[in-house]
Amino acid sequence: MSAPTSAGDTPTRRSPSWGRGDQAVRVGRRSALVLGLASVAGLLLFCWPLFVRVAPSSLQHGVDAPFVFLAILPVLIVVVLAELSEGGMDSKALAMLGVLSAINAALRPLGAGTAGIETVFFVLVLAGRVFGAGFGFVLGCTSLFASALLTAGVGPWLPFQMMASAWIGMGAGLLPRRVTGKAEIAMLVGYGIVVAYLFGFLMNLWFWPFVTGMDVPYHQGSLSYVAGAPLLENLQRFAVFTLLTSTAGWDTGRAITNTVAILLVGPAILATLRRASRRASYGVVGTHGPALDRASDAT
């Protein structure tokens, strides 16, 4: 983002081009394409247990696939991140990213002990809303990554968590811009609830086969994943699994946390973030003009 200070556009003195808060990380057309493709691939990786259709000859493949997928998701994430920062990231956006990631990482362990209280998401949603979709996506990744580094929680689950929370941040940035005031808070609360369940659902989905076991012969647990079974059958099994294990407890807890947090401090945090975004004035370009016609000899 080099300053386009061509001599042609002489700026009027008091109206310099002014940045927009929701463009803290610019998403160009190409970045959007990369982001979209990676999201489709990522979604497939999350939902693989539902889609596996195994030809009899390649049963072995259906079983190996999950481990291959574990290796692919990180690649997707780094590619998207590289693309989003490819044009060089504004130092203000980057510093904001760092600070908000630290806040998210600090909020996360707050809820770790108490069942269901998961505090990462509300700041992510609010920040995505204020700073835009691109920023939300990157913030989702960096928050979870920083948190994993701080708590020594790096593992194959990390890319999945990063991807899911990146979508959450991005989605918050894509919500309709025009909604303001009470309606905005209501919209964000609704989004927070949906996202809480969706996050739990996705995280369960990819991990489900690992939890209940899958390829041990001589066992047909009724909750277990069956590779190659019809989509509906697996979906039903999964639905019961997720309902029993997490929807009632963790996911609802997460949804309640989001709701309460956004209702209580949402307006104040939004105002604070917007103020910061105004002050940082992303994408602002300072302008230069030639010296006024006055002899420059006086001291």
Partner 1 sequence: MSRRARSRTSFLPRDLHPAAWWVWALGMATAASRTTNPWLLGVVIAVVCYVVVARRSDSPWARSFRLYLYLGLIIVGMRCLFRVVFGGGEGSTILLHLPQIPLPAWAAGIRLLGDVSAESVLGGFYDGLRLATMVICLGAANALANPKRLLRSMPSALYEVGTAVIVALSVFPQLAESVQRVHRARRLRGHVATGRRALRSVIIPVLEDALDRSLQLASSMDSRGYGRAGTASPRSRATTGTFMVLGLVGVCVGIYGTLDGTTPRILAGPMLLVGVLLALCGFVLAGRRVERSRYRPDRWHLPEILTATTGVAVAAMVGGVTGDTTALDPSLTDLSLPLLAWGPLLAVLVGILPAWLTPPPASPFVGLEDEPEPSGGAPESSGIPESSGTASGDPIGARR
Partner 2 sequence: MIRLEDVSIWYHEQALPTLEHVDLTIGEGELVLLVGRTGAGKSTLLGTLNGLVPHFTGGHLQGRVTVAGVSTASRPPREFAHLVGMVGQDPLAGFVTDTVEEELAYGMEQLGVRPDVMRRRVEETLDLLGMSELRRRALRTLSGGQQQRVAIGSVLTMHPPVLVLDEPTSALDPTAAEEVLATLARLVQDLGTTVVVAEHRMERVIPFADLVISVDDGGRVRAGDPATMLRDTPIAPPIVELGRAVGWDPLPLSVRDARRVAGPLRERLATRVPGPVTGDPMSPPTTPASPVAALTAEGVVVRYGPKVAVRGVDLVLRPGHVLAMMGRNGSGKSSLLWALQGSGPRQGGRVTVQGQDPKALSSKAARALVGLVPQTASDLLYLETVAAECESGDAESGAAPGSCRDLLDSLAPDIDSGQHPRDLSEGQRLALVLAVQLTAAPAVLLLDEPTRGLDYTAKRVFGRVLRRLADEGRAVVVATHDVEFVAGVADEALVMAEGEIVSQGSTRDVLGGSPAFAPQVAKILGEQWLTVTQVTAVLEADRQEVVS
The interface with partner 2 within residues 19-48 (CB under 8 A) comprises 19
Is 250 within 8 Å of 191 (Cβ atoms)? no
Which of the choices partner 1, partner 2, none does residue 284 contact, using the CB cut-off of 5 to 8 A by kind?
partner 2
Cβ partners under 8 Å of residue 200, min gap 6 = 242, 246, 247, 250, 251, 254
For the CB of residue 131, give the shortest distance to partner 2 in the complex, in Å.
17
For the CB of residue 208, give the shortest distance to partner 1 in the complex, in Å.
11
User: Is 178 an interacting residue with respect to partner 2 (CB under 8 A)?
Assistant: no
Residue 293 amino acid letter? D
For the CB of residue 288, give the shortest distance to partner 2 in the complex, in Å.
4
Is 76 within 8 Å of 231 (Cβ atoms)? no
For the CB of residue 12, give the shortest distance to partner 1 in the complex, in Å.
26
Question: Binding marks (x or -) toward partner 2, 209..248, rule CB under 8 A?
Answer: ----------------------------------------
Please identify, among the stretches 9-17, 42-50, 119-127, 206-214, the one whose residues bind partner 2 according to the rule CB under 8 A: 9-17
Q: Which region, left, alpha or beta, applies to residue 245 given φ > 0 means left and ψ of -120 to 50 means alpha? A: alpha
For residue 115, CA distances in Å to 51, 118, 250 come to 31, 8, 7
For the CB of residue 149, give the shortest distance to partner 1 in the complex, in Å.
4
User: Is 182 an interacting residue with respect to partner 2 (CB under 8 A)?
Assistant: no
CA dihedral (156, 81, 150, 129) in degrees, to 10, reads -110
Please, which of residues 255-274 interact with partner 2 by CB under 8 A? 268, 271
Is 149 within 8 Å of 193 (Cβ atoms)? no
Of 70, 101, 33, residue with least CA distance to 209: 70
Is 285 within 8 Å of 2 (Cβ atoms)? no
d(CA 100, CA 92): 12
Residue 14 or 182 having the CB closest to partner 2: 14
Concatenating the DSSP letter of every residue in 140-153 gives HHHHHHHHHHHTT-
Applying CB under 8 A, which of residues 6, 9, 13, 217 lies at the interface with partner 2? 13
Residue 230 or 289 having the CB closest to partner 2: 289
Residue 222 or 299 having the CB closest to partner 2: 299
Which of the choices partner 1, partner 2, none does residue 131 contact, using the CB cut-off of 5 to 8 A by kind?
none
User: Is 56 an interacting residue with respect to partner 2 (CB under 8 A)?
Assistant: no
User: Is 291 an interacting residue with respect to partner 2 (CB under 8 A)?
Assistant: yes
Of 282, 212, 258, residue with least CA distance to 107: 258
User: Is 10 an interacting residue with respect to partner 2 (CB under 8 A)?
Assistant: no
| Token output for 219 | 């066992």
* HSE of 278, CA atoms in CB hemisphere, 13 A: 6
User: Is 284 an interacting residue with respect to partner 2 (CB under 8 A)?
Assistant: yes
The residues of the shown chain that bind partner 2, judged by CB under 8 A, are: 2-3, 5, 11, 13-14, 16, 18-19, 91-92, 268, 271, 275, 281, 284-292, 294, 296-299
